[in-house]
Amino acid sequence: MSKEIILNAFEMNSSMHNSHGFWKHPESKRHRRYKDLDYWIDLAKKLEKGKFDAVFFADVLGIYDVYRKSKEPSIRDGLQVPLNDPALLVSAMASVTEHLSFAVTVSTTYEPPFGNARRFSTLDHLTKGRIAWNVVTSYLPNAARNFGLQNMIKHDERYSIADEYLDVSYKLWEQSWEDGAVVEDIENEKLVDPEKVHEINHEGHYFSVEGPHLSEPSLQRTPVIYQAGTSERGREFASRHAECIFVGGPTPERIRYYIDDIRKRAESHGRNPEKIKFFSFLSVIVAETTEEAEKKFEEYNKVWSADAAKAQYGASGYDIAEYEELDPDLPFEYTKKTEGGHYKAAALTKDAPKKLTVGEVLNRFESLDRNSIIVGNPSEVADAIQFQFEESGVDGFNLNHLVTPGDLESFIDLVIPELQKRGLYKTEYKNGTLREKLFPEGKSTLPEDHPGSKYRRVIEKQQ
């Protein structure tokens, strides 16, 4: 049987996600209903109907304020603001589904690991093993100031913090509690065996944590680890820790380059590189006919917000407004190094198919990027998805949707059946935890070659 596409719905607990200006579209419901729990419950049911593997919740900890050195463009157009905590949606969405999983974004830069470990253990218990953690290091200057820092921690140091953060987390999840620690021994008046619950006594450069972990082991112990980052330091971090990795690029060839590079790095860490799943982003506008899809595209273009798109690009650390007064024929180049998201910066330079001019870059923000959106009837859309899937070597996609929930509903009703007909997409869910669904040859817990599993082995040796 051919490899099947793994599909996540790319979401955010906010008024708008990556659909800049689309709150103005008459069919947009999310900016009115994202605060309504029934909206998310309905969405969970729709996604399970479409056999989606997971809903992937992005998150940020501040306002995009690099563009024009102001928060005003982001706030005015609802660029990922207002924004609520995504983790608080999971229990309700899990309660009305059986198989849909949940990847929650949490930064390692500002919140200590002890509380975060309990959060994910709790979610893994309540979802019966359907939880993943998307590990990020945060790229917004406003986020740093929101947590009491005058300046952002430097890009590479944020990954050093993340490395130790993950080691602390593994100790809490894998090492602190032995299997069978909860004994429920009425005769000896012992609910939990103290000899099977251990302090971790972590003393590191960034963190000091005594333990023990407050939660007993969940089905997966450690949630499935997701990560996105194509910088040098990001790829190194991903190759050590991540089980699912998001890679972006303008062409299938560039995406495959990042996949091959990370696999080589993973092998150097003693991991089986073939046991890592890779994802890229997918945006689709689909209708019954090509003409109807093209009409949708034109309608969407009319509500597009260039200012919001430019504001989001500020995650790179670069203010695109500084280029608006330059000669448009000049080559587009950065004149300084920033501590923002390197993958954003690379999209217009080293990852671009050709050397761009200032004018070409500025024009990219003025309308929907037709080159990054698949537009067509169900067969045409499936053709393009199949090409990307086979040529890039990814295992699946994070599906972005512009008008919510209409675009998701159209994808489920029109594209999913076409992919299933081609044998590219499941017709039924597999049983088990998220990790077992993603890696059916393994177990619900971390594989033996993952660095986090060494902490579990410490306990096993003591027994």
Query: What are the chain's domains?
Result: 6-300+372-462 (3.20.20.30), 305-366 (no CATH)
* Whole-number pLDDT of residue 334: 84
- Quote the CA–CA distance of 81 and 64 in Å, as a whole number: 9
> What is the pLDDT, as a whole number, of residue 1?
46
**By the 8 A CB rule, do 83 and 16 touch?**
no
Give pLDDT, residue 460: 59
Cα–Cα separations (whole angstroms), residue 361 to 37, 158, 273, 311: 39, 29, 36, 14
390's CB contacts (< 8 A; 6+ apart) are: none
Residue 425: left if φ>0, alpha if ψ -120 to 50, beta else—which one?
beta
Query: Taking the C-alpha atoms of 27, 369, 78 and 26 in order, what is their torsion angle to the nearest 10 degrees?
Result: -10
How far is 349 from 315, CA to CA, in rounded Å?
Answer: 15
Residue 457 has a pLDDT of 61
Average pLDDT by stretches of 10, the chain with 463 residues: 90 92 93 96 98 97 95 95 97 98 97 97 98 95 94 93 98 97 95 97 98 98 92 92 93 92 96 95 97 97 95 91 92 82 74 85 92 96 97 96 94 98 97 97 95 80 55
Rounded-to-integer distance, Cα 445 and Cα 268, Å: 22
Distances (CA, A) of 211 to 106, 177, 217, 453, 458: 21, 10, 14, 18, 16
